[in-house]
Copies of this chain bind each other. A is one copy, B any other.
Amino acid sequence: MKLLEDRIRKDGVVKAGNVLKVDSFLNHQMDIKLFNEMGREFKRLFADRPINKILTIEASGIGIACIAAQHFGVPVVFAKKAQSINIDGEVYSTKIQSFTHNKVYDVIVSKKYINTTDHILIIDDFLANGCALEGLIDLVKSAGATIEGIGICIEKGFQQGGDIIRKKGVRLESLAIVESMNDETGEIVFREQ
């Protein structure tokens, strides 16, 4: 998606350690007009799928999931990190390793909000090593629901997550795939799609 690639080139900052900072428009400050265009593009990419619900994970996936949901006319469910006293009843749970925070989270979703009749689009802002996505896929499978696809804003194509997910046979669409980046020159190369 050229609009997103251009924005990453303009406002993204490449840091040592394969860190791409996009917190000026994607995951701290959020450019809602851009989100709306990304939501429209997810709808175009998955127009042929009978999606009735979007699943994401807190926190930075929630914004793009909600804006995208307007284009699909469906509700959003966000998976929660760690147990809360306000989630009662039974939950599906999985464990997710966070590279960013260097710890393992328990991630849960109420059994009330995903079930065997659901056709789920998973949306998240970033895909790197794929741990968060594998956890979300695990939750959907636990519920016996159908995964219609996965929509990602930015995929780090030089990390393994995209390959792992695609090998599972899940349809994965990333709006921008970073093939390589250089923290000395700031150069970012995107995969041709």
Give A residues with C-beta under 8 Å from B.
15, 19, 21, 23-25, 27-33, 35-36, 58-60, 62-63, 65-67, 69-70, 73-78, 80, 82, 84-88, 100-102, 109-110, 112-113
**What is the CB-to-nearest-CB distance from A132 to chain B, in angstroms, rounded to a whole number?**
14
Known A-B contacts A67-B66, A78-B59, A112-B24; A88 and B32 likewise in contact (beta carbons under 8 Å) = no
Known pairs A59-B80, A66-B67; list 14 more (Cβ under 8 Å).
Answer: A15-B88, A21-B88, A29-B110, A30-B66, A30-B76, A32-B75, A36-B70, A58-B58, A58-B60, A58-B62, A59-B62, A63-B65, A66-B66, A84-B100
A82, B73: Cα distance in complex, Å: 34
For A60, the chain B residues whose CB sits under 8 A away are 58
**What is the CB-to-nearest-CB distance from A29 to chain B, in angstroms, rounded to a whole number?**
4
Number of copies: 2
Q: Is the CB of A29 within 8 A of B113?
A: yes
By beta carbon, the residue of chain B nearest A108 is: B28
For A77, the chain B residues whose CB sits under 8 A away are 28-30
Contact with A59, one of B59, B86, B87 (Cβ below 8 angstroms): B59
Known A-B contacts A59-B62, A66-B63; A75 and B29 likewise in contact (beta carbons under 8 Å) = yes
**What is the CB-to-nearest-CB distance from A162 to chain B, in angstroms, rounded to a whole number?**
20
Known A-B contacts A70-B32, A113-B24, A113-B28; A63 and B85 likewise in contact (beta carbons under 8 Å) = no
Q: Is the CB of B28 within 8 A of A78?
A: yes
Q: Is the CB of A80 within 8 A of B28?
A: yes
Known A-B contacts A59-B62, A66-B30, A84-B101; A23 and B110 likewise in contact (beta carbons under 8 Å) = yes
